[in-house]
Structure 1
């Protein structure tokens, strides 16, 4: 297995680099016929990676790998790789990736259809691309005047702490959301989200620079989202595990929509900018498409909402509580 494949394997197996390194340590011990107890695994991990690992953290990661089915407990407190489980997961992962590729093709075609309609309209709408800074300024302006915002989101910004939002360049946007939707009630928020804890953790880590603090900050954000939804009826969050379709931000003013933003992201799924389109017909069509998915998704409120948020906490703890 070449170096490039090894770098990709953690992503394919949905593991952290540290968890994959532990799997490799077990594999090489197994291959050489050595004992695969925690002491041997720890020594091999340190030798191969050159990094220290606390014994308590090793046990935590071993439990995660056992729960995932990639390791099984053997005799004499040893751990063994379950090659069938690894092969089965990669096979299922391949099906997911094929489905995502098909979805990418569908969304690309959908985007071409939208842009083709823009070109063919007799009254040409305004269309232009804006970078991240201009986008955030525009979102602040929209949130300041809209009656409701319809937005896809990997994780709802309204639940971010002020320090976190400022650290990633969204401080003023969060302030407006809080002024109008939390401390006031003049703004409704409708989020369609997959509650991506990897995305949330990466934001926290980028701001704090420490994985332990980033994990704790992520837990605070999830708890804040739960509190906000319990206290504010004008906040409506819907959950889709597989968030499909165009990535959009649509400001409503009363019953009318006249413009919207097609959000663009980098390879880490961070916002980089947007295509702004001002057209009542196209904006109305986009709102209809959004609301169809929104109505289909699960509402994050009540007992079902707590189950959804608790599942998000577990995903976060399994990957980042190290």
Structure 2
């Protein structure tokens, strides 16, 4: 800890599907990051990313149902206070660091401002930096990544290039140079080069004004779907391919945790037109049920739900949009 009794809190931000959860999984395996607590903010009503992290660190808390920079900032404070209470009661080992993963559309500036403004939290946690993941493949495909992406880059104290193996070396160098022009103060590194040991005083995001309300999350919506019973993997893969072929430019992120009939849950991630290879988790963390979260921009979530209903037919999913209204199939 940089100050006795004060634990560093690192904000991990970055665009949807840029590799934040993968980065956290890597960090949590490091010996110097033992005794780390993780807060995961998810935009959909159903949280999925925390399932992947709990197999590495049981002290993972999910903050679903809203963007951490606006709707759920009070939830972050509550979660940190609960962490302190649990630790003081002796139910968990002392926590030496906290990692907060924001949604891919979060503006880090108001998140940092909230944490710095809380008198109680300041006695226990010090925001030491904002780490932002940058998807080299996504930027190579479309250089204009939107207002939220630019805000995250400007707020970063450390920029981490991801998926560089999916682009040419020249494209990776060009992106690194572009990031240095946008934020000269933030080092641009790979996942392997991250060093959280060095302390910082005030994160850069503390001096950055938040995004205007009319630009943040404009046209963005999310839909969460739960399915009973095993999912036919081949049929589901066909549906995902058809969905992304038709609407990939408006599918900001799709995350699925699937029961395919085997012992292990299958995780599937897609970003716009790109589907990443499925991964198997070692066990179920909670009820055994398939869950799907789709985050869209300028695409009504009801269209995605209706397409899934038509394709799966008698499986008859029930969907809950991010606003909380429940949609029941006809």
Bin of the TM-score, shorter chain as denominator length: under 0.3
**Greater per-residue strand proportion:** 2
**Greater per-residue helix proportion:** 1
Name the TM-score, length of structure 1 as normaliser: 0.21
Name the TM-score, length of structure 2 as normaliser: 0.21
Tell which structure's C-alpha radius of gyration is larger: 1
